[in-house]
């Protein structure tokens, strides 16, 4: 049981306690939980048997591998850049600000932050709405055209509650994040066990059917990539919390690579199993469909009913986990902006755990505002439109796939900037790299730019389809046309709003403060935070490894530690460790250097 604690929404500022910082293992655990989850099947289903063609079928397997390759390449660029930049909050903002200047740094930081409300919207939908809109489920909320509106209000309320866990402090935050993660993975493994059982029962017959009907086009590939790329996002968000991580320059870069590998492996394995397990078309919620099929296979209806409860627990715990982490990461994005003056000074305050509590509180308010714009208002439009057209079942203005595609589009912009910075510094020989890295970064940048173009083309085609449906005499098609136009208009509106607000804010709020700082010679102290650093700490680590190997060989040859070369090597290694400065790991191999045991 956790220790008793007192909720203090104002967080009296106290000295930071380094013991509450995240270790490498905790960062990987948190990052994997934040990035990977079983809700991706809701998008996977629409792509496998949806509007992208007859079916994408087994193409989804290698598409996920491509997703992992591109995301991993972006992650590697983040990892490399973390070595030559300050290990503070900010990540993409720090990199862009250092290489491209104040304006582009602010723009990228604000655009990156703007993905959080979109992600929150998707999490609210997948947490509550998806679990209560299946007519075959005993949890079906049969509230007519107002179902989405009511369910999303419930989701917003639950999301707000779990986000407040951060305000209890880092220890309590870790406790609840871990508990929700355990629940999430226990229920996820139950689902995977059910999928494996169905796969074994069906053999490869499902694969034969899928392969016979699958089809792939440039548009379907692009839509699949953009929609599913969302499920690899996360590392760029949790990489912003350098002040909450032990040895951030090393641990953040390592955790990013590990998390990307694990996420790719997870998605590919689940996709392989899911295709083999499900016969025929996927439902809107394939996870519930799996348990329903399992119950029918074994003539046990209770398996389907139990599966519904398992998936309800799974998705709520999954999204609660993400919601709690979003509350932390949002502060990590906003705090450095306050430090440099883009936001009021009060939002740079940290509590004893290094949490930007005021910035996180601001994020909670903004989240509710965006939930209103992206969920409540569209739900009202949908409900009123469907009522007017006398439609019995609610249509959907913003579905899960649409929102994940929007978030992916924004993050592709961020990744493109970060990769371009890695290429720039590599070209200037300020960043250690090899020809392979330079080549794969170049390929990833061109690929992402192509996806940006395809996203706009797909959106334009969707607009055309929506206009055509408006002229339909069929009530359902007419309603779908209105909903499609509202959905696409909201996507464009949000992107235009984000960039317009960022530009106006920069020139009307920040620029006057900047001019005053320049006139009073105060700006230089802020600019110092964005100077490139060398990667000596990592070079020193490599040299230490070489020396440690030498020390081992030396003792095997001479059978003592008193020879001249051993003493010299030990002295050099100690100097290397001491030279690491703030990145020095105090307890690492201490006995080898000092002789202590």
In the 3-class helix/strand/coil scheme, how is 372-397 assigned residue by residue? Answer: HHHHHHHHHHHHHHHHHCCCCCCCCC
Q: What is the pLDDT of residues 291-317, one digit of tens each?
A: 888 888 888 888 888 888 888 888 788
Q: What secondary structure letter does DSSP report for 583?
A: G
Q: 165, 324 in Cβ contact below 8 A?
A: yes
Residue 190: strand, helix, or coil: helix
CB-CB neighbours of 206 under 10 Å:
18
Secondary structure element (H or E) that encloses residue 73, with its range = helix 59-82
* Range from 403-407, 499-503, 542-546 carrying the lowest mean pLDDT: 403-407
Summarize the confidence of residues 322-340 as an average pLDDT. 77
Quickly state the pLDDT bin for 20 (edges 50, 70, 90).
low
Mean pLDDT of the chain: 78
Looking at residue 568, what is its pLDDT?
92
pLDDT more than 90, % of the chain: 7
What is the number of residues in the chain? 597
The answer to whether residue 560 scores a pLDDT higher than 50 is yes
**Quick one: which of 98, 3, 318, 333 has its CA closest to 188?**
318
Looking at residue 8, what is its pLDDT?
Answer: 42
What is the per-residue pLDDT across 108-149, written as a single tens digit (0 to 9) for each? 888 878 877 777 777 777 667 766 776 766 777 777 778 888
- In degrees and rounded to multiples of 5, residue 135 shows phi and psi of -60, -25
pLDDT bucket at 259, cuts 50 / 70 / 90: confident
DSSP code of residue 457: H
Computed over its alpha carbons, how large is the radius of gyration of the chain? 26
- Per-residue pLDDT band for 3 (boundaries 50, 70, 90) equals very low
Q: Is the pLDDT of residue 442 over 90?
A: yes
Residue reference for tokens 């797909």: 458
What one-character-per-residue DSSP string does 506-519 give? Answer: IIIIIHHHHHHHHH
Query: Quick one: pLDDT band at residue 325, thresholds 50, 70, 90?
Result: confident
Q: Three-state SS for 428?
A: coil
Q: What is the mean pLDDT of residues 455-463?
A: 82
Residues 6 or more apart whose CB falls under 8 angstroms from that of 40 comprise 228, 231, 267, 270
Position 581 scores a pLDDT of 62
Confidence (pLDDT) at 71? 86
- pLDDT at 44 > cutoff 60: yes
Tokens coding 529: 């935070």
């Amino acid at each position: 049981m956790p220790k008793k604690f007192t909720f203090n929404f104002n967080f009296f500022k106290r000295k930071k306690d380094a013991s509450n910082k995240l270790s490498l293992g905790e960062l990987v655990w948190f990052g994997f939980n934040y990035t990977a989850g079983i809700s991706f099947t809701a998008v996977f289903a629409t792509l496998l048997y949806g509007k992208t063609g007859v079916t994408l079928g087994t193409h989804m397997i290698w598409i996920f591998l491509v997703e992992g390759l591109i995301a991993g390449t972006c992650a590697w660029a983040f990892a490399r850049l973390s070595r030559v930049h300050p290990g503070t909050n900010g990540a993409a903002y720090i990199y862009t600000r250092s290489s491209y200047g104040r304006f582009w740094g602010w723009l990228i930081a604000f655009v990156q932050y703007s993905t959080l409300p979109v992600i929150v919207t998707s999490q609210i939908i997948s947490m509550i709405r998806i679990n209560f809109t299946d007519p075959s489920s005993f949890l079906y909320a049969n509230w007519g055209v107002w179902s989405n509106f009511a369910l999303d209000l419930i989701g917003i309320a639950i999301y707000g509650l779990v986000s407040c866990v951060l305000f209890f402090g880092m220890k309590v935050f870790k406790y609840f994040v871990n508990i929700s993660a355990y629940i999430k993975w226990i229920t996820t493994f139950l689902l995977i066990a059910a999928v494996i059982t169905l796969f074994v029962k069906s053999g490869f017959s499902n694969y034969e059917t899928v392969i016979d009907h699958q089809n792939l086009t440039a548009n379907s590939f692009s839509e699949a990539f953009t929609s599913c790329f969302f499920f690899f996002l996360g590392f760029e968000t949790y990489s912003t919390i350098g002040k909450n991580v032990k040895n951030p320059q090393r641990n953040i870069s390592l955790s990013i690579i590990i998390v990307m590998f694990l996420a790719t492996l997870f998605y590919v394995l689940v996709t392989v199993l899911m295709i083999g397990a499900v016969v025929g078309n996927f439902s809107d919620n394939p996870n519930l469909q799996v348990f329903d099929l399992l119950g029918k296979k074994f003539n046990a209806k209770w398996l389907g009913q139990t599966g519904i409860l398992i998936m309800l627990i799974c998705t709520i715990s999954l999204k609660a986990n993400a919601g709690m982490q979003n509350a932390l990461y949002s502060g990590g994005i906003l705090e450095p902006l306050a430090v440099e003056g883009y936001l009021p000074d009060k939002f740079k305050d940290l509590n004893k755990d290094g949490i930007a509590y005021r910035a996180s509180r601001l994020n909670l308010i903004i989240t509710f505002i965006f939930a209103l714009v992206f969920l409540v208002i569209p739900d009202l439009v949908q409900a009123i439109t469907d009522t007017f057209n006398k439609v019995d079942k609610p249509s959907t203005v913003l579905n899960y796939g649409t929102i994940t595609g929007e978030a992916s589009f924004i993050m592709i912009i961020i990744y493109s900037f970060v990769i371009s910075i890695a290429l720039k510094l590599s070209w200037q020989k300020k960043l250690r790299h090899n020809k392979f890295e330079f080549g794969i970064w170049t390929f990833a940048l061109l690929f992402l730019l192509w996806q940006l173009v395809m996203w706009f083309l797909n959106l334009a085609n969707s607009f055309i389809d929506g206009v055509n449906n408006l002229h339909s005499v069929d009530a359902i098609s007419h309603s779908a046309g209105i909903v499609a136009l509202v959905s696409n208009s909201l996507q464009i509106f949000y992107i235009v709003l984000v960039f317009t607000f960022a530009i106006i804010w920069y020139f009307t709020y920040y620029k006057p403060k900047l001019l005053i700082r320049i006139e009073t010679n105060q700006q230089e102290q802020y600019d110092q935070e964005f100077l490139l650093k060398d990667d000596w700490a990592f070079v020193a680590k490599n040299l230490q490894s070489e020396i440690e190997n030498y020390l081992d060989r030396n003792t095997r040859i001479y059978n003592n530690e008193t020879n001249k070369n051993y003493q010299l090597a030990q002295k050099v290694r100690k100097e290397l460790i001491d030279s690491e400065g703030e990145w020095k790991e105090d307890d690492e191999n201490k006995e080898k250097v000092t002789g202590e045991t």
